[in-house]
């Protein structure tokens, strides 16, 4: 059985990784979708699809199942989004998400959806980690080592600080 897990992963953090680790016990192969692939260089979406591919691919390396990391751009029409996803990914049998819209869209398309508990949601949240990146807080302890390396490699701390100065939608 092949599973599918989608997120924006801005950045990929230990809550995502805990979820992936548990999914890996249930499936034979895993497809990870990098959502909102066209978005980057804003406070809410600082990292490019390619940078997020690096973070996720390196973090998934220790898993002992085959994994595929696929960037997926947003569409104007929610009603046809599942078909768009399926057109970009290896065929999958079950989708994993805790996002209510994503759960609804897969359910309406007849795809089985599984949800998971939220792990340490008070700190394991992209918004919290991005705020710590901007304010020189401790973000490194909330993401896998591979993500720390990737963010430093792309000068991501300076980038998010700089774009947050001009981004009126900063969060």
Ligand X SMILES: NC(=O)c1ccc[n+]([C@@H]2O[C@H](COP(=O)(O)O)[C@@H](O)[C@H]2O)c1
Closest CA to 67 of 117, 17, 107, 103: 17
Listed in sequence order, the residues at least 6 apart from 120 whose beta carbon sits closer than 8 Å to its beta carbon are: 14, 15
Among 78, 115, 120, 127, binds ligand X (CB under 6 A): 78
164 binds ligand ATP, rule: CB under 6 A: no
In this structure, what token pair is assigned to residue 121? 């949601």
How open is the CA angle 26-29-34, to the nearest 5 degrees? 105
Our CB check for ligand X shows the closer of 27 and 37 to be 37
36 binds ligand ATP, rule: CB under 6 A: no
Our CB check for ligand ATP shows the closer of 98 and 109 to be 98
Contact stretch for ligand ATP (CB under 6 A) within 13-21, 49-57, 69-77, 142-150: 13-21
Residue 119: name its binding partner from ligand ATP, ligand X, none (Cβ under 5 to 8 Å by kind).
ligand ATP
Phi, psi of 3 (to 5 degrees): -105, 160
Residue 132 CA to residue 119 CA, distance in Å, equals 19
Positions touching ligand ATP (CB under 6 A) are 7-10, 15-16, 19, 97-99, 116, 118-121, 124-127
């Amino acid at each position: 059985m092949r599973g599918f897990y989608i997120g924006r992963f801005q950045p990929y953090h230990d809550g995502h990784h805990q979820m992936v680790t548990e999914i890996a016990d249930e499936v034979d192969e895993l497809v990870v979708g990098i959502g909102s692939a066209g978005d980057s260089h804003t406070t809410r979406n600082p990292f490019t699809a390619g940078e997020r591919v690096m973070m996720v691919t390196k973090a998934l390396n220790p898993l002992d199942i085959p994994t595929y990391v696929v960037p997926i751009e947003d569409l104007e029409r929610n009603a046809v989004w599942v078909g768009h996803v399926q057109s970009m990914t290896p065929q999958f049998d079950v989708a994993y998400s805790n996002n209510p819209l994503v759960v609804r869209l897969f359910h309406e398309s007849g795809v089985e959806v599984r949800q998971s508990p939220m792990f340490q949601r008070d700190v394991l949240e992209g918004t919290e980690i991005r705020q710590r990146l901007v304010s020189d807080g401790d973000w490194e302890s909330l993401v896998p080592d591979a993500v720390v390396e990737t963010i430093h490699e792309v000068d991501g701390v300076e980038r998010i600080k700089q774009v947050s100065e001009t981004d009126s939608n900063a969060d």
